[in-house]
Amino acid sequence: MSLSADIASLLRADHGDPFAVLGRHGGRVRVLRPDAKAVEVLCGAGTFPAKRLDDAGFFEARVDAAGSYRLRFTAHNGHVWEDDDPYALGPLLGDIDQHLFSEGNHWELWKRLGAHEETHGGIRGTVFRVWAPNARRASAIGDWNGWDGRTHPMRKLIPLGVWEIFIPAVAEGAHYKFELLGHDGQLHVKSDPFAFFSQHGTETASLVWGLGKFKWSDATWMEKRRTTEWHREAVSAYEVHPGSWRRKDGSQFLTWRELADSLVDYVVDMGFTHIELMGVAEHPFEGSWGYQVTGYFAPTSRYGNPDDFRFFVNRCHERGIGVILDWVPGHFPKDAHGLARFDGTALYEHADPRQGEHQDWGTLIFNYGRNEVRNFLLANALFWFAEYHVDGLRVDAVASMIYLDYSRSPGEWLPNAFGGRENLDAIQFLKRCNEVCYQLHPGIMTIAEESTAWPGVSRPTFLGGLGFGFKWNMGWMHDTLDYMAKDPLFRRYHHGQATFSLVYAFHEHFILVLSHDEVVHGKGSLINKMPGDEWQQFANLRMLYAWMWAHPGKKLLFMGGEFAQRSEWSHETSLDWHLLHYGFHSGVQRLVQQLNCLYRNEPALFDQDDTWEGFEWVDLHDADNSVLTFLRRARHGTTVLFAINATPVIRENYRVGVPNGGHWREILNTDSEHYGGGNIGNFGAARSEPVPWMNRPHSLTITLPPLAVIALKAED
């Protein structure tokens, strides 16, 4: 191509190899700067004026001095400034980095792609890299070059398809995007998929941001976490939408640093062990609650900058609270600045809409069969563990990932190579992701929101499982809420719903969940699902919570549920904290606090909750009275008896078989006046009698309060 043709192509911004023309070539230095009236090259002790070869801003200077050089620009308004030449350097991304990315095994990919402040040849600036293999041209545009795609076209690294450029003097805080001339001939202006900090809403620029400034002080927590086996520990998570937990002046978001005080103090006081955060990764639409992500490597700027979020996590760890993030590798939105049709082709998404489009949510599905896409997602999971010290990832919508026919009618999906409906690429990705995360970050947890009967979701991959640490128990949630919604008069006919979860309770490592999904979209709040008058509604809710904490499995409760919020959750407003001025609501809050305390202090409730050795039915057949009795056992032998009375009838002199004689202390009674109940119970204790009952050598005669749960602990 002739120089004139190169110039024309550069000025049209469709030149595929700008480094072959711009910069120093022999004794000539060529510069494309549309905003400059004149250019001079400063080299050695000499100044070499450049000749304008095109009125649009293409300059060439003859330079007969050796060594490095700088450029001096004169703007059309007379302003003069100096800068280093971005086109003076050769390729910067190493061969090993390119190889690892191409095969999908670059575990620290975020350290190479995106925008990074670096020093090269003694010059400080920012290197920009973006993967866009099918783009005809890529440019870094930002507030330093007037968002002009002609000014800083990038070098394409063949065959990987990563474009890069080092731009001197661009520093932290600079706003930028990538302008791509797509394979389709159209311009695509995109936010950086690897940006660490981004705008949100209608403003969608990425920001240059370094992750090396924050000083962590959670070494004690991190070292303890490394050797923690969460299956044997108490896990009680408080699920939080940061933008609506509490607001300032009724409308303003709390910042991460404000949440580090108020939210963390509250969670500690309530006795939860973990905070599970919705909507942390950057997302443009508030109504998506953070489940339609455009910035996978950027904590949303709604609540502060990346170091503010690190401050929040650090504070949680200092107070002994773990942090779990909701992670969305199943789909992404079609927003023009995001991943969709990134370089004019289906790059991140599957090209066939039968595999690449999520019909329910109007989003796109990742192409898990592509090495680079799998690497993008796996590196993102590792990023949150490595750079933000998070303790767990709750993987959203796993069922939509592993089934090709998820929410599709016949003819709307393609079977796999073996004719089945399993998404083999997605399954392999999930297995590999779990393996690598647990290998590189021992002590973390990955949690699957998986709503089907897929076997072995939380079993290791070497046993044929998907490799998750835990799985949400959606079956328990659906059956239990359906049972609780029944009029107590008719619960005897649905007794099996209350017991069925124990048929499969130990097939997985389960987390019992009452999440945000149960209090939105017209489903109503938890308290409003309960039948009866106000007293019965609150008694039923207290019974539900105690049954949940007594049942094998870890726990998760969505914010507002702990004080029986009446209204359905809305992401646009704060929780109804004023309800705590009313006795029934504050009583439920005290109960949840006490349940967490009891749970964490009684190993019988958690250290064998994935095996029958930690659970034993006493009587599951008393459907006529809607009563359930069972034992929970710790590894060291502590035994706790639970009795649930799901009717508003007081049952006096109710005999329950127990394994040993002696004193049984009442450690929980949800009918206590402390929680808003009628204070019917057993005066704090019961003593067993040598009367055989229910195939046990001893028995207790106790009083069962109405719509309540009591727990008695065997003591010598």
pLDDT band at 249 (very low <50, low <70, confident <90, very high): confident
| Calpha distance 264→258 (Å, rounded) | 9
- Domain limits of the chain? 3-88, 95-207, 610-715
% of residues, the chain, pLDDT over 90: 93
State how beta strands 58-62 and 69-75 pair.
unpaired
Report pLDDT for 513.
98
CB count within 10 Å of CB 693 equals 18
Q: Where are the alpha helices (DSSP H) in 60-124?
A: 95-103
pLDDT, residue 332, reads 96
User: For 655, left (φ over 0), alpha (ψ -120 to 50), or beta?
Assistant: beta
Rounded Cα distance between 302 and 242, Å, is 10
Encode burial over 25-58: b for 16+ CB neighbours within 10 A, e otherwise: eeeebbbbbeebebbbbbbeeeebebebbeeebb
Residue 87 has pLDDT above 70, yes or no: yes
- Letter string b/e over residues 393-415, b meaning 16 or more CB atoms within 10 A of that residue's CB: bbbbbbbbbbbbbbebeeeebee
Indicate the class that CATH gives domain 610-715.
mainly beta
Give 613's contacts (C-beta < 8 A, 6+ positions apart): 633
Q: pLDDT digit string (tens) for 11-61?
A: 888 898 999 999 999 999 999 999 899 999 999 889 999 999 998 899 999
Kindly report, residue by residue over 318-371, the tens digit of the pLDDT: 999 999 999 999 999 999 999 999 999 999 999 999 998 998 899 999 999 999
Q: Does the pLDDT value for residue 437 go beyond 70?
A: yes
CA distance 301 to 299: 6
Among all residues, which ones are annotated catalytic? 396, 449
Q: What is the mean pLDDT of residues 576-587?
A: 97
With a cut of 90, say whether residue 88 has pLDDT above it: yes
Q: Write down the mean pLDDT value for the chain.
A: 96
Q: State percent of the chain over pLDDT 70.
A: 100
CA atoms of 41 and 73, how far apart (whole Å)? 9
* 1: confidence class by pLDDT, cuts 50, 70, 90: low
Q: What is the pLDDT of residue 183?
A: 84
pLDDT(188) > 80: yes
Q: Which residue has the tokens 């450049």?
A: 50
Answer whether residue 567 shows pLDDT above 80: yes
Q: Which CATH architecture has domain 95-207?
A: Sandwich (2.60)
Mean pLDDT over residues 547-561, rounded? Answer: 98
| Encoded tokens for 122 | 């003694």
Q: Same CATH topology for 3-88 and 610-715?
A: yes
Q: Sorting pLDDT into bands at 50, 70 and 90, what band is 441? A: very high
Is residue 169 within 8 A of residue 130, CB to CB? The reply is: no
Task: Calculate mean pLDDT across residues 235-257.
Answer: 95
- How far apart CA 135 and CA 149 sit, in angstroms, is 14
596 pLDDT band, cuts 50/70/90, is: very high
Residues in the chain: 716
Per-residue pLDDT tens digits for 373-386: 999 999 999 999 99
Distance CA 517, CA 561 (A): 12
How far apart CA 213 and CA 306 sit, in angstroms, is 10
| pLDDT 10s digits, 484-532 | 999 999 999 999 999 999 999 999 999 999 999 999 999 999 999 999 9
Query: Which pair of tokens denotes residue 79?
Result: 């302003």
What's the CATH superfamily of 3-88?
Answer: Immunoglobulins (2.60.40.10)
What is the rounded average pLDDT of the residues 399-403? 96
